[in-house]
Amino acid sequence: MALRIIFMGTPDFSVPTLRALVTAGHEIVAVYSQPPRPGGRRGLDLQKSPVQQAAEALGIPVRHPLNFRDPADVEAFVGLNADVAVVVAYGLLLPQAILDGTRLGAYNGHASLLPRWRGAAPIQRAIMAGDAETGMMVMKMDKGLDTGPVALTRRVAIGPDMTAGELHDALSAVGADAMVEAIGKLEQGVLETAAQSDVGVLYAAKIDKAETRVDFNRPAIEVHNHIRGLSPVPGAWMELSLHDKPERVKLLASHVHEAEGEKATAGTVLDDQLTIACASGSVRLVRLQKAGGKALGAEDFLRGTPVAKGMVIA
């Protein structure tokens, strides 16, 4: 028989899992999501999270406590008499009372190959580190940060030019299938878990704005990984001198040109195709976006923004 599930998630990454659980025939008794936040063009309108919007479209009641410090919120959670909680990018650390608040516990869909990249930004950090693969893991949650025993693993290759946005979408789809499989096994009483290794633990710290500026004084492969790991959001950026004033330009895609730029000063524009010298090798910028403008391919960007060969980008 289908399980009674409390679903906990917030961003668009979580939505496919919610929908997949409904399609699989489980009863979603409530959805928990982060409260509506200011948004819109002027930042004045309250914007419901993607998960809340999806839940309401499915006719599922939504709750969004700020935290679970209020005993009434814990009581309301436990009072749902759910079999299991499914958590995908909810955005809150859950206290033990919530982890124990359903019959079978809480299971989390996490976007890395644990114990590598525990924490807030596993997709971006995997690409920025140059990892060749990552994956989705379904983990039974405990009081630690992504430390619980693993029930199911799905591996996903990271292509050499794959961006964080592309990997996000791939993992979101894989994660939905993985969670449906795991919950199906849990329903049948055959879901097994294994403790995580103590070897290879890495933490995926939240992306800080201070680290988003591109530093061409690094090897080309590191610059390339930095650009694709932050694309499309928050976006790596460089500063160009345009019309006698500095202007920030987001870099959304690039290619590595290892054979070029070995003897040029890092940051030097090497040609009329936006190839930039790095500490070793060079990168060719493929997709860019000026503040307030559209994302453009390099050729279209150069039509409106001449960047001369020999210019040095600090």
Binding residues for (6S)-5,6,7,8-tetrahydrofolate: 112-115
DSSP 36-57: PEEESTTS-EEE--HHHHHHHH
Distance of CA 181 to the CA centre of its chain: 22
Q: SS3 for 132-153, per residue?
A: CEEEEEEEECCCCCCCCCEEEE
Distance, in Å, from the CA atom of 260 to the CA atom of 276, rounded to the nearest integer, reads: 9
Can you give the length of the chain in residues? 314
For residue 130, the SS3 value is coil
Known binding positions: 112-115
Distance of CA 206 to the CA centre of its chain: 10
Phi and psi at 292, nearest 5°, equal 80, 0
Burial 126-150 (b: 16+ CB within 10 A, else e): bbbeebeebbbbbbbbeeeebebeb
**Distance, first Cα to last Cα, the chain:** 62
